[in-house]
Structure 1
Amino acid sequence: MYTVLIIDDSPSMRRVIKDMIDSIDEFEVIATAVDAYDAREKIKQYEPDLVTIDINMPKMDGVTFLRNLMRLHPMPAVVVSGEGVRGNDIFDDGAVGFVPKPEAGESMVSFHSRIKDTLLNLTFLLKRYTLKKPKALKQVKTSKIEVHHKVHPNEVIPSKPALMPGSKVIAIGSSTGGVESLLKVFRDLPSGLPPIVITQHIPYGFSNSFAHRLNDNSQVNVHEAKDGEILERGYAYLAPGNMHLTIEKVGGNYKTKLLDTVKVSQHKPSVDVLFRSVNNSVGSSAMGVMMTGMGDDGSIAMKDMFDNGAYTVAQNKESCVVFGMPMKAIQAGAVKDIIHLNEIAQYIVEYSKGRRR
């Protein structure tokens, strides 16, 4: 159970956010605060695992408070405020998530969904934050990187032979519950696989640290995708939390292309955008994997992949945190095999060896 302090000057918004967070099994609101000064005292008193911060507050605005918090008492912080706060560079100031408050006429159901998705996607970070005893450091296995000669995501690497068009590419889409589920899959994957491209619905500012986490727990080299990278065997490319990830054929290569455009299927990054580009570039040589998540993002483009001869699988209901995205893909007739989370890595390996079509 992770404890949360809500900081918002609006009594009604504090009640709404509290009720929403308390409805999530893994989280409990331990206290609320009306402004930055009230929050400072309650952080000392309650030592919460996470704080939510409104930007427009009296006495001290949320951005200033966030900067002070990261300087004096760094801890996971999610900004819950108006859409316009993105211009304040809140992620550069230390926030790990952003949830826009509902606009006029928007239902509370949609707002609750955003709150839930963001918090559930932050659970692995919270686990690391709450492991405060020195013995927790033993869980960091840096030796694994050396054993498998892995490359740190920020390390400059020499160029390698590119893939030729027609080579296999694996595309994965996930949302709510996807962080822990992807970690499970990547722990079981060997090195040397065809390139993997991933869209996980994830807050901006959090995707890079999640890529590091995947990289440190897998034989696959994982990093946050950058624009114009040549896809290589043994590598995985995670969509940044504020950009659509696509791939395209350029000459004799497959390359990443990041798009800073509008949300698609209510998301940015969007699984539909990734899967559509994979279908257009790789066609029947691709594999599509739909994992746990809320909503229907990815189902339309996955049906196009299926119709084009790609191999497509979906995570089954029993192993999903939320069976929304896989269910919609299955209902659309876009899925060849429905499999348990524990089988996904095996199916990826078998596809890469030509045993699954």
Structure 2
Amino acid sequence: MYTVLVIDDSPSMRRILKDMVNSIDEFEVIADAMDAYDAREKIKQYEPDLVTIDINMPKMDGVTFLRNLMRLHPMPAVVVSGESVRGNDIFDDGAVGFIPKPETGESMIKFQERIKDTLLNLTFLLKRYTLKKPKPLKKPKKSTSNEIEYKVHPDEVIKSYPATFPGSRLIAIGSSTGGVESLLKVFRKLPKNLPPIVITQHIPYGFSSSFAQRLNANSEVTVHEAKEGMILENSHAYLAPGNMHLTIDKRRDGKYVTRLLDTKKVSHHKPSVDVLFRSINNSVGSSAMAVMMTGMGDDGTIAMKELYDNGAYTVAQNKESCVVFGMPAKAIEANAVKDIIHLEEIADYIIEFSKGKRRK
């Protein structure tokens, strides 16, 4: 169980956040604070695993408090504030997530979904910040079948029509829990002059832009947060936004272009690896390389099998180097993988594929 300190000057917002966070099995609000000075004492008293911080607070604004917190008592901090403060500054100051407060007339259900998605996607970071092992979930889900279950199948969002003629090479990567640091390790080793790379990482809303910039700063490859209609270029990579499905379409002139879908979650996620990989199979087919990296769950298994069957080159990260051996394991179980490789080898395999080589 991860403990949370909620910091907000509004009593009603503190109550709302407390109820919403407590509804998530892995999290419990241990205390709340009305301002930065109250929060400082509560942190000393309760030693929470995570704090949520509002920006607009009396006595000391949230950004100043965040900077002081990272300097004096570094710990995971999520900013929960108005959309107007969204930007990269809060991540540069040490925040690991951003959750915009509900706009006028917006459903509180959507706000609750943002909170849940953000916190659950940060559990891999929390494990590194706390010495406590999470307790079992309050309501464990019992599996009654060995079959993979999907709340929403990719067919409901993107239809399958596999490419039958080879096109230009393209590399697609899917990752989730543990993927942020693992992708950084891969990108640090990648040179220029590679085919375009597209990435779906399960990431909280508001964090994908900062993460794309972090990848860009640590690689010779130019990394973007994907936007609608971007033409894919060699030596460039495109990261799915934290609240949209990323897909790739092939134009009549043979160029690949990004398309963003604001639809329902697929395989429990948005963005979904299944959606990205299926679009790659539809547009690139056998000319694609798909890489399944560390992550919890089974997102990507359906579409990776489609890529495999269509002649694409598919690889999965091995158990020893995964933070969570979930998504790669499911892909392997589905016979959707040609090679199983260590994290340290992924960059080398990408480079070899870009040169027209595939290891046997």
Give me the whole-angstrom Cα distance separating, in 2, the residues matched to 1:49 and 1:203.
21
Give me the whole-angstrom Cα distance separating, in 2, the residues matched to 1:165 and 1:272.
21
- In structure 2, the partner of 1:5 is 5
Give me the whole-angstrom Cα distance separating, in 2, the residues matched to 1:122 and 1:303.
32
Contact 2:49 2:126 in 1 (8 A): no
Change (3 A) 1:178 1:314: same
Change (3 A) 1:116 1:268: closer
- Write out aligned runs for 1:282-293 (5 A): 282-293=284-295
- Post-superposition CA distance 1:47-104 (Å, at most 9, x none): 78985449xxxxxxx6855997434423564268xxxx9xx5387285724499xx99
- In structure 2, the partner of 1:174 is 175
Residue 205 of structure 1 deviates from its aligned partner by 1.1
Stretch of structure 1 that moved more, 39-48 or 310-319: 39-48
Residue 16 of structure 1 deviates from its aligned partner by 5.3
Give 2:26's aligned amino acid: M
Give 1:89's aligned amino acid: E
Give 2:173's aligned amino acid: I
- Post-superposition CA distance 1:106-131 (Å, at most 9, x none): xxxxx99963422436899x9xxxxx
> 5+ residue gaps in structure 1?
22-28, 55-61, 105-110, 127-163
TM-score between both structures, scaled by the size of structure 1: 0.69
1:234 aligns with 2:235: yes
Q: Please, what is the CA RMSD of the aligned residues?
A: 3.9
- Write out aligned runs for 1:1-357 (5 A): 5-7=5-7, 9=15, 20=26, 32-37=30-35, 40-43=37-40, 46=43, 51-53=50-52, 64-65=56-57, 69-74=61-66, 77-78=77-78, 89=83, 92=86, 96-98=97-99, 115-120=119-124, 166-252=167-253, 253-356=255-358
Change (3 A) 1:238 1:116: same
Contact 2:294 2:323 in 1 (8 A): yes
Change (3 A) 1:193 1:66: farther
Give 2:170's aligned amino acid: V
- Post-superposition CA distance 1:176-195 (Å, at most 9, x none): 00000000000111111000
Give 1:272's aligned amino acid: D
- Post-superposition CA distance 1:267-303 (Å, at most 9, x none): 1111011000000000000000000001110010000
- Post-superposition CA distance 1:299-320 (Å, at most 9, x none): 1000000000000000011100
Residue 18 of structure 1 deviates from its aligned partner by 11
Q: Secondary structure at the match of 1:236?
A: strand
Q: Secondary structure at the match of 2:26?
A: helix
- Post-superposition CA distance 1:140-167 (Å, at most 9, x none): xxxxxxxxxxxxxxxxxxxxxxxx9711
Residue 204 of structure 1 deviates from its aligned partner by 1.3
Give 2:290's aligned amino acid: G
Change (3 A) 1:11 1:275: closer
Residue 34 of structure 1 deviates from its aligned partner by 2.9
Give 2:38's aligned amino acid: E
Give me the whole-angstrom Cα distance separating, in 1, the residues matched to 2:266 and 2:295.
15
Contact 2:196 2:236 in 1 (8 A): yes
Give me the whole-angstrom Cα distance separating, in 1, the residues matched to 2:266 and 2:58.
30
Change (3 A) 1:324 1:279: same
Give 1:33's aligned amino acid: A
Residue 334 of structure 1 deviates from its aligned partner by 0.7
Give me the whole-angstrom Cα distance separating, in 2, the residues matched to 1:269 and 1:318.
26
Residue 338 of structure 1 deviates from its aligned partner by 0.6
Residue 246 of structure 1 deviates from its aligned partner by 0.6
- The sequence identity of aligned pairs, in percent, is 59
Aligned positions, number = 288
Contact 1:91 1:97 in 2 (8 A): no
Change (3 A) 1:16 1:262: closer
Residue 354 of structure 1 deviates from its aligned partner by 1.2
Q: Secondary structure at the match of 2:284?
A: helix
Q: Secondary structure at the match of 1:297?
A: coil
Contact 2:293 2:322 in 1 (8 A): yes
Contact 2:287 2:312 in 1 (8 A): yes
Q: Secondary structure at the match of 1:321?
A: coil
TM-score between both structures, scaled by the size of structure 2: 0.68
Contact 2:3 2:30 in 1 (8 A): no
Give me the whole-angstrom Cα distance separating, in 2, the residues matched to 1:209 and 1:13.
29
